[in-house]
Amino acid sequence: MEFPSFYRLNVWRARANMRVWTLFLLLLLLEIGVVCSSSDYLVGLGSYDITGPAADVNMMGYANTGQTASGIHFRLRARAFIVAEPKGKRVVFVNLDACMASQIVKIKLIERLKERYGDLYTENNVAISGIHTHAGPGGYLQYVVYIITSFGFVHQSFEVIVDGIEKCIIQAHENLRAGSIFVNKGELLDAGVNRSPSAYLNNPAEERRKYKYNVDTEMTLLKFVDDEWGPVGSFNWFPTHGTSMSRTNSLISGDNKGAAARFMEDWFEQKGYEKTDSAKIEDGGLPRKISNIIPGLHNNKHELLEIATSFQSSPGRSATKTSSVSKRVRAAQRKDGKPRFVSAFCQSNCGDVSPNVLGAFCIDTGLPCDFNHSTCGGKNELCYSRGPGYPDEFESTRIIGERQFRKAVELFNTVDEEIEGEVDFRHTYIDFSQLEVTVSNEGDSEVVKTCPAAMGFAFAAGTTDGPGAFDFTQGDDKGNPFWKLVRDLLKTPTKEQIDCHQPKPILLDTGEMKKPYDWAPSILPIQIIRIGQLVLLCVPGEFTTMAGRRLRDAVKTVLTSEEDFEFDDIYIVIAGLSNTYSQYVTTYEEYQVQRYEGASTLYGPHTLSAYIQEFKKLAMALINDEQVEPGPQPPDLFEKQIGLLPPVVVDGIPLGVNFGDVCADVPQNSSFKSGDMVTASFWSACPRNDLMTEGTFALVEFLQEKDDWIPAYDDDDFCLRYKWSRPYKLSSRSRATLEWRIPEGVTPGVYRFRHFGAAKGLFGSIHHFTASSSAFVVT
């Protein structure tokens, strides 16, 4: 039936008036705060410096007593995100540029958060995960076996990590605003290889046929978008070890994942995500921290040299404690009211995954190492794996970091799936020392037990990323009489313990060693965090590739078994090295081979089955909205810690010299180009006197006008290295050497080095100082 035209016009007018009044009402409700944002989440991100002591402290990871820190490759950070329902639950995830999380760190952090926020942030909804760099200061864990090489507990390492985590969570909390979260995943093939393929091959052939590769190749990325500011950060998970930097490196470094995070944060801040896609990255190379406020000074090399000659090195002079912070290139936490972009590259099931993708070779012959035992002529010390930049470990670190960075940018730019659904979490403590586990065996089930912690002989053999010493080998399922005698001087394992760990021959019975306090953990935290269709499994150790696959599959089966589960596809991600550390977790079949990972699986052959059993319980409680028992509390061993690292007594300098004076200057009338290394050295002092947290020891400055020097690169840049050294071990004198590998695309002009330090006087006073080198030209 046709309505008269005037009737249709009146209907249209009535509808238009209704729209106007509806809009007016919505605006009014917004004004008085009745209508909330359409976003389902509040999102906040934060980041803070956790670099720690850059001298004298043993590095955590390789357990090499000779590997002590003596400078900074680039700084370490704690990065956090908070996701909250506007009127519901919230979760915190912290990613540390550290080897692993620590139980005592989390205990003390939660105490601080409780004092500040009450019960808003607890051990249940806060997760802390480490990237597994082997180039960070040690001494911050509470169990004896993990702090032996650092001469016990190092309070400075511990305090800077706890303080940094707390401050990054405070930042994230204060940045909480309405926003959205997006998820994407993609395949990255050239950033990791299996370093124990003989153990992987012991898994059932039927199971192995389900997977194309013997390592996981999937990266999962979250993109955080503020409703007003746009993208504010990203976190991704991908498994590869933080061992691009070798066991002989002495510079603090975030290794490949820390490098990738720095590359992505600089990329976003400099170019903006909307202006740069992955194709342009391929063409233009990695972004570098080049200040875009620096104008070109001159293009005439002769004129530049004349200007540089007029700036000779300055003598050391007093400085304020905050000088290095104010000069730091990335000092500003906010830009135009918006927080800095935060990008974290998190660790997953990396247990048997090495970033040294060229393979393992004998250093004496150049031939591949023995396949089953990773030895060369029977010696494990000669078998080393090679990174893609071999023999340059810094280049290998850059390449593996770059590959992860490029994949993350691709996922960031192409993401289109939005996270939807509730925020929830479950957490409990489990005593893994004698846990009953029901396992299936050819259709039948039996109850087995885990064991008190113990480490096998192959643990001491190390891996191809960092071989051990003496006559230990991977794949040793017998041990040898001499080392058993040495072991028995510490603790003789009982027959029950020996039988429980079969076929692992016990080298260190750590779970039963209690003097002066616990050598290894027995009570471990397990935790599930859910944000919509993303589920994080926070595990306190290093799962191998197949162990991680089994755990993910088991949890997915539970979560998708409910008919009313709202998602057809969910993202289940393993967040490795979370909340505490308990070494490795292999499959039952990999354990039988007793390579390094199996020998380092602390709680016996059924460790993985125990994790699967307990995580399935957590997952069931999650989907059924049931609470779980908190479990037995882990010990707080803070008051029992013993630290034997001697303090800095006093810093000294030669007669007639000031702290900071140049002792090896840049050559006069010198010019350099991209790819060149520029170096200068200064009379300095021990960096343990002041960690320069959120500051810098090293600076490259650019001459903008007649005498206006502005910071261009600091010790948080991949291209600038701060190296510290003494002429001999007990000397009070020391030097700081700054090395700048001039990056591609650097702005031509006049540059100089600047060094910041803090010297300790005989009576404990701290004197801050600074000095600069002679100027030089970059063309």
Domain extents for the chain? Answer: 42-276+347-433+518-640, 301-333+647-778, 436-512
pLDDT at site 707: 85
Alpha carbon distance 26, 19 (integer Å):
10
Does pLDDT of 124 surpass 80? Answer: yes
Alpha carbon distance 751, 544 (integer Å):
47
pLDDT at site 569: 83
Confidence of residue 40 (pLDDT cuts 50, 70, 90): confident
Coil/strand/helix, residue 738? strand
Buried b (16+ CB within 10 A) or exposed e, 693-716: bbbbbbbbbbbbeeeebebbbbbb
Helices (H) and strands (E) in the chain, counts: 16, 41
- SS3 for 441-466 is ECCEEEEEECCCCCEEHHHHHEECCE
Confidence of residue 741 (pLDDT cuts 50, 70, 90): very high
Residue 584 marked in a binding site: yes
Q: Estimate to the nearest angstrom the gap between the alpha carbon of 486 and the chain centroid.
A: 36
Catalytic residue annotation: 354
Query: Is 707 in contact with 63 (CB distance < 8 Å)?
Result: no
- Record the pTM: 0.92
Percent of the chain with pLDDT over 70: 90
Confidence of residue 117 (pLDDT cuts 50, 70, 90): very high
Peptide bond into 516 cis (omega under 30): yes
pLDDT at site 566: 64
Residue 132 marked in a binding site: yes
Query: Is 57 in contact with 68 (CB distance < 8 Å)?
Result: yes
Residue 241 marked in a binding site: yes
Query: Is 103 in contact with 142 (CB distance < 8 Å)?
Result: yes
- Token pair, residue 739, equals 């090395």
Place of tokens 């540059």: 751
What are residue 317's DSSP bridge partners?
770
Q: Is the dihedral of CA 492, 496, 499, 504 positive or negative?
A: negative
Q: 553 versus 37: which is more confidently predicted?
A: 553
pLDDT at site 441: 79
Query: Is 376 in contact with 382 (CB distance < 8 Å)?
Result: yes
Alpha carbon distance 565, 557 (integer Å):
12
pLDDT in tens, 662-686: 999 999 999 999 999 999 999 999 9
Does pLDDT of 286 surpass 80? Answer: no
pLDDT at site 334: 63
Cα angle 147-148-154, degrees, rounded to a multiple of 5: 45
Query: Is 611 in contact with 539 (CB distance < 8 Å)?
Result: yes
Query: Is 284 in contact with 406 (CB distance < 8 Å)?
Result: no
Confidence of residue 594 (pLDDT cuts 50, 70, 90): very high
Does pLDDT of 536 surpass 80? Answer: yes
Does pLDDT of 766 surpass 90? Answer: yes
Does pLDDT of 25 surpass 80? Answer: no
pLDDT in tens, 307-335: 999 999 999 999 999 999 999 998 655 66
User: Mean per-residue pLDDT for 162-179?
Assistant: 98
pLDDT in tens, 331-384: 655 667 788 999 999 999 999 999 999 999 999 999 999 999 999 999 999 999
User: Mean per-residue pLDDT for 278-301?
Assistant: 46
Does pLDDT of 298 surpass 80? Answer: no
pLDDT in tens, 476-535: 999 999 999 999 999 999 999 999 999 999 999 999 999 999 999 999 999 999 999 999
Residue 755 marked in a binding site: no
Confidence of residue 442 (pLDDT cuts 50, 70, 90): confident
- Token pair, residue 313, equals 């090195």
Confidence of residue 471 (pLDDT cuts 50, 70, 90): confident
Give the least confident one: 4-8, 526-530, 591-595.
4-8
pLDDT at site 567: 62
pLDDT in tens, 712-724: 999 999 999 999 9
The pairing of beta strand 734-741 with beta strand 720-725: antiparallel
User: Mean per-residue pLDDT for 527-553?
Assistant: 98
Does pLDDT of 227 surpass 60? Answer: yes
- Token pair, residue 772, equals 């600069």
Give the least confident one: 229-238, 428-437, 468-477.
468-477
pLDDT at site 429: 98
Does pLDDT of 273 surpass 70? Answer: no
pLDDT at site 561: 85
- Quick one: CA torsion of 743, 745, 748, 749, rounded to 10 degrees? -50
Coil/strand/helix, residue 247? coil
Does pLDDT of 450 surpass 80? Answer: yes
Mean of per-residue pLDDT scores for the chain = 91
Q: What is the CATH number of domain 301-333+647-778?
A: 2.60.40.2300
Give the least confident one: 351-360, 398-407, 468-477.
468-477
Alpha carbon distance 308, 513 (integer Å):
63
Residue 168 exposed, middle or buried by CB count within 10 Å (0-12, 13-18, 19+): buried
pLDDT at site 337: 78
Confidence of residue 302 (pLDDT cuts 50, 70, 90): confident
pLDDT at site 31: 39
